[in-house]
Structure 1
Amino acid sequence: MFKLRKKIHSEDFLAKYPASFKSAYAIFVVVMSVGSLVWGVFCIILGLHKISILPFGYLAFSLLGLIVFFSGKGFAFIRFFQVLFSLTFPYALQWLLGGYTASGMVSLWSFLTLIVLITFYEARYNILWLPLFITCMVVGIGLDHYYPQPVPSMLNKPHIHKMLLIANASLVGSMLFFIGRHFISLNRQHKKINETLEYQKGELLQKHEEILAYNEEINQQNEEILAINDELGRQKEEMAAKNKEIALKNEAMTTINEALEQQRSELRKKTNNVRSSINYAKRIQRAILPRLSWIQEHFPESFVFFKPRDIVSGDFYWFSVVRLEENLEITTSFRPPPLPEKIIISAIDCTGHGVPGAFMSMVGNQLLHEIVNTNQIISPEEILRELHLKIRFSLNQEENENNDGMDMSLCVIDKQARTLEFAGAKNPLIYIQGDKLIEVKGDKMPIGGKKRSRDNKPKARTYTKHVVKLNEPTWFYIFTDGFQDQFGGKHDRKFMKKRFKELLLKIKDRPPNVQKNMLSQTIGGWMDGRHQIDDMLIMGFKIDDHILPRQAT
């Protein structure tokens, strides 16, 4: 018994199981599980709930054992108890159901187990199960004779006995037939494999003879190789001398590489310093831009889509509120009326992008502050003309070849008069009322730079003021050309103004943050990983009766 237990737990023994053993075992467990399920259901139907625990318990153990079997662990251990329970379980169920006759001789399933275990146990071990089978038969007869169990009323009918006997005998016989056919089929396969192996053995013998002849040829070649090795030895000495020469050259190259690495290190350090400086310039540039919260104090429904191409940008936006003290009137009220105010908002595209554009944006921001907030020039065409003159003066464009400048759209909103005044230097204004989109084009002259007439004399610049009445809810959009000039799409073309206008009509009824996100998603999908060619800036704001004072009746 000790040797049997040791053999069951031996991993060496587990590794020697043939595939036919495992397939037969799996078939056996499935068949016995189906039989136990049928008998469990049959007991439930008869109202024998306590007795049904036995077949259902066997079923649960079989399924658990099958899971362990497929996991490849403890197969011998599970197989041992599976056979043990399969031999004893039918006799126990037969006794509980009232004996051989009442159960239709359900102990035949134990006979099936004894026969089938031959297929998945080695011959020297399956004989050990025969005494247990005989013992179960003797004990089963003794229990039926000396300790009979009451027969359920349903099983007292003779035709039921016959049906159960036929069912048990038919199932057990069928299982034996199909398992026998399975192993006959395996035996035929083995014969075919043996024939194939015999054929391959003859081929191997023929190849062995060819290899012997080939070995003789190799021996002859080895003698030739020895002669070649002598020649190679001489050449090796010559190579050693050349290697010394190469080593000297390598030392010189190492010295050169160390010098180059030092130069690369210094270059990386300088590059990092430049990048740090540009990032700091970005923080300064962002600091001078008006806060969106300030803009939304005056235009609650507004957004700014700002996407620089590089770290710093040549595009910038400007916002200011100017209160005109000279327009105060004397009233009899205790509190004076609010000061009339003008709201100025602008989107500016400076020459270039990156660091050069950022310098121009700093100059433009400061000059706009001086023109509007200090000098209180609030008419849009005058602001553009004054900015043009100051740019030319600041960059000394009368005397040098500098042509830097900026394109811009500038709006002045008068809430009291319910008007929006616009002037543009090359850049337009787009506004939407209802489903109608109107574009107001700017003048074809930038801010700054040189523009000469045909007689090569400097030409004075004047800009046109356009007035839009604020009689109905209106969305206004000012922007630079970076968005519509971006290349992308299937054919790698520009986005173009027409497609941009269609997009604005599509998003006009959405909340400001949704409009901004749709602009970002659209241009991102259009670019599809392509390089951004210019800075992008789009400002949108809505003016309606919620932010305008009531009209006098």
Structure 2
Amino acid sequence: MRRRFQILLTFSMVIIFQIAFWGFAFLSKKYIHDEIVEQVKNDNKVIGEQIIRLMQKSYLSKADFETDLTLQHLCDSIKLPNGGFICAVDKAGNLVAGPGLTPGMTMPFTPTLQAHGQTDQFVPAELKSDQIFNGLANFKKEGRTDLVSSLPLNDEVRLFVHQNKDIIEQRAAKYVKPLLLIGLVITFIVGFFAYFTTNRIINKYESKIEVQNRELKDALEEIRLQKDEIENKNISLEKQKNIAVEQHKKIAHQNKEITDSIQYAKRIQHATLPKIEISKAIIDDHFILFMPRDIVSGDFYWYHEFDECVVIAAVDCTGHGVPGAFMSMIGITFLNEIVVENEMRDAGKILDELRKKIIHALGQKRTGGGASDGMDMALCIIEKSTKRMQFSGAFNPLICIRNEELISVKGNRMPVGIYARMDGNFETHNLQLESNDSIYLFSDGYADQFGGSKGRKFLSKNFRSLLHQISTLPMEEQKKVLRITLKDWQGEMSQVDDILIIGFKVI
């Protein structure tokens, strides 16, 4: 295989050299031929011009040739190379002087003429009297082609200088033969050099290939070991994957069960919430914006209507999700017990009693040994006949917008539950409502929502300003504006807390 490749490479190099050499030889032959032809053309022209300068002093017409042997003598005596000759032809195309003719003797001049680089052929009689011609003369009968130059000797006679084209081409071929011999010698040298050079190159690359083969073999062995290791790891990973899949299925099943339980808890929570059917006798229109962060909510709204009054509360329990929902259930239960069953009508006392029940139910103590869960809330009682309103709050305020003026009624700075600084009882605030007053109860979820270009909280001042701006709109329109504003502010960020806003107008 190695020897075959070496021979093939050597043969290829020789063939390439031969092609290049023969191309050079062909171009050289053509160049030499063209140079000889050009030289002959110039020689013919020069010879003709010299003879004409010599003869024009003696001969003025064709008749002069019949009494003088000079021109005929010149035609017989001048021997041109390459089988050439000189002759004189009259304008009728008859030979009047030339090799083998005697003065006064004429004979037809039969070749066809063809100018260099042209294809048209014509006879000597068609040349104009003053025309200088350089081209080929084709003697068909003799089977000969000459390089010829023709110059006018006078108005009646033209001089033709001929050299045989075939002899000229044979001369050119003689110059090429040494090149061919040189080419054969160089070809042998090139072949010899190519053979030994390729042998050295092949030996060099065989050594490299042998080293590379050893390295490749080592690399393949390492790859095989790595492959075995990877396969073992894949088996281990597959086992771990199967374990993970089973765990995922188990967790998914547990998650579904938990989610189903929470969804059921949501239905229970919503069932405990009152329907929004506040009496039109005291409240013209209203809205409740209720947006739990999770499936169930730690915020809840509550109201109860008596014959003479209506009690409304917005409550924010500690935490959200399931823990907040449990607190909301406790709050709803205690509010029903305090307000509905015990018919308590004082806002502050309702919060005091609710606090007692939560502390007792959760086992809370000031020492911090119990839970610290509780509620922030705003609760109001509106008397239908007098339009007087009681309000009591645990951290959360009540906002009343009257004639484009915003009135904020603050609650106590303590929650409904155990607190380190419980300042006595919750205070009851009394307000006289007027027609078209807009009342708002809410948790802190809306103001605490992060968003905007800098990811900051919406803040209470912006929330109050928004309520002031939309207070003249119908309550349902206000609810839509609040939703849209929150969505635009929140953007792609997650909701951070439960949101609850209650708004109503007084007629």
Deviations 1:436-469 (A, max 9, x none): 11000011111012335xxxxxx56311111111
Pick aligned residue for 1:434 from 385, 396, 403: 403
Q: What does 1:116-195 align with in structure 2 at a 5 Å threshold?
A: none
1:396 corresponds in structure 2 to: 363
Specify every segment of 5 or more residues in structure 1 that has no aligned partner in the other structure, as ranges.
1-215, 324-340, 453-458, 545-553
Letter in 2 for 1:506: Q
> How many residues matched?
306
Pick aligned residue for 1:380 from 341, 344, 347: 347
Q: CA deviation at 1:283?
A: 1.8
| CA pair 255-420 structure 1, distance change in 2 beyond 3 A | same
| CA pair 219-257 structure 1, distance change in 2 beyond 3 A | farther
Deviations 1:48-105 (A, max 9, x none): xxxxxxxxxxxxxxxxxxxxxxxxxxxxxxxxxxxxxxxxxxxxxxxxxxxxxxxxxx
Deviations 1:300-345 (A, max 9, x none): 410001111122111100010124xxxxxxxxxxxxxxxxx22000
Structure 2 residue 484 is the aligned partner of structure 1 residue 517: no
Output the TM-score relative to the length of structure 1: 0.52
Residues of 2 paired with 1:257 and 1:351: CA distance? 41
Specify every segment of 5 or more residues in structure 2 that has no aligned partner in the other structure, as ranges.
1-197
The DSSP-based 3-state class of the residue aligned with 1:301 is: strand
Contact 1:475 1:542 in 2 (8 A): yes
Structure 2 residue 228 is the aligned partner of structure 1 residue 261: no
Contact 2:355 2:416 in 1 (8 A): yes
Residues of 1 paired with 2:434 and 2:459: CA distance? 31
Structure 1 residue runs of 4 or more that deviate by more than 6 Å after TM superposition: 216-222
Letter in 1 for 2:379: L
Q: CA deviation at 1:526?
A: 1.4
Q: CA deviation at 1:381?
A: 0.7
CA RMSD of aligned residues (A): 2.5
Q: CA deviation at 1:401?
A: 2.0
Q: CA deviation at 1:358?
A: 0.7
Pick aligned residue for 1:534 from 489, 497, 507: 497
The DSSP-based 3-state class of the residue aligned with 2:260 is: helix
Q: Whose strand fraction is larger, Structure 1's or Structure 2's?
A: 2
1:425 corresponds in structure 2 to: 394
Structure 2 residue 241 is the aligned partner of structure 1 residue 272: no
Q: CA deviation at 1:289?
A: 1.5
| CA pair 235-527 structure 1, distance change in 2 beyond 3 A | closer
1:501 corresponds in structure 2 to: 464
Contact 2:287 2:502 in 1 (8 A): yes
| CA pair 239-345 structure 1, distance change in 2 beyond 3 A | same
Structure 2 residue 210 is the aligned partner of structure 1 residue 247: no
Deviations 1:191-221 (A, max 9, x none): xxxxxxxxxxxxxxxxxxxxxxxxx999899
1:290 corresponds in structure 2 to: 274
Residues of 1 paired with 2:248 and 2:300: CA distance? 36
Percent identical: 42
Q: CA deviation at 1:226?
A: 6.1
1:352 corresponds in structure 2 to: 319
Contact 1:423 1:465 in 2 (8 A): yes
Q: Whose helix fraction is larger, Structure 1's or Structure 2's?
A: 1
Return 527-536 or 341-350, whichever deviates more: 527-536
Pick aligned residue for 1:486 from 440, 444, 449: 449
Residues of 1 paired with 2:227 and 2:436: CA distance? 86
The DSSP-based 3-state class of the residue aligned with 1:481 is: coil
Letter in 1 for 2:338: I
| CA pair 294-221 structure 1, distance change in 2 beyond 3 A | farther
2:375 corresponds in structure 1 to: 406
Residues of 1 paired with 2:399 and 2:495: CA distance? 24
Residues of 1 paired with 2:201 and 2:212: CA distance? 15
Q: What does 1:185-334 align with in structure 2 at a 5 Å threshold?
A: 223=206, 224-225=208-209, 227-237=211-221, 239-241=223-225, 243-294=227-278, 299-323=283-307
| CA pair 441-241 structure 1, distance change in 2 beyond 3 A | closer
| CA pair 512-240 structure 1, distance change in 2 beyond 3 A | same
2:336 corresponds in structure 1 to: 369
2:437 corresponds in structure 1 to: 474
Letter in 2 for 1:440: V
Q: CA deviation at 1:534?
A: 1.2
Larger radius of gyration: 2
Q: What does 1:433-452 align with in structure 2 at a 5 Å threshold?
A: 433-451=402-420
Deviations 1:374-408 (A, max 9, x none): 00001111111110111111111138420100011
Contact 1:295 1:319 in 2 (8 A): no
Deviations 1:128-174 (A, max 9, x none): xxxxxxxxxxxxxxxxxxxxxxxxxxxxxxxxxxxxxxxxxxxxxxx
